[in-house]
Amino acid sequence: MTLAAVGGVSSEPRRAPEPSGRVAVCRSCGAELGEPVLSLGNQPLANALRGPGELGDPEPRYPLDLALCGGCSLLQLTEAVPPEQLFSDYPYFSSVIADLVEHARALARRMIDERALGPESLVVELASNDG
């Protein structure tokens, strides 16, 4: 794992941003998405840390809009940023942050106890950052 992968800034030059893609159908049920219910405009990628030599360069930005699916009520982003752009120099891996791993372990133990979960229980983790 590189320094950049655990929070450092890479010295590698950034590639030009790839175009994002408009998501026209719901990721869950396939229904057509309507107009955004919330638009935060064009935003830089949250974890795209910049080195001192890049601070004067234009920063790639992508639409940050949310649409509510009329078919299943899933609130979702309306744009898909290419994975190569999102993860080429990704500084945040939750699995290497000891306090976060311990927090997740404690939460799992608490949920097992509170919900009386056992070997036959189905538990699904959504939005896992790094598996």
Domains of the chain, residue spans: 3-92, 94-131
pLDDT at residue 6 is higher than 80? no
Tell the residue number behind the tokens 């950034």, with chain if given. Answer: 14
Say which residue, 84 or 39, is predicted with more confidence: 39
Q: In terms of residues, how long is the chain?
A: 131
Candidates 82, 102, 9, 1; CA nearest to 48 is 9
Tell me if the pTM is above 0.75: no
Write the pLDDT tens digit of every residue in 55-87. 999 988 999 999 999 999 999 999 988 888 877
Question: Which tokens is 52 given?
Answer: 């001192």
Say which residue, 36 or 5, is predicted with more confidence: 36
d(CA 89, CA 36): 29
d(CA 80, CA 45): 12
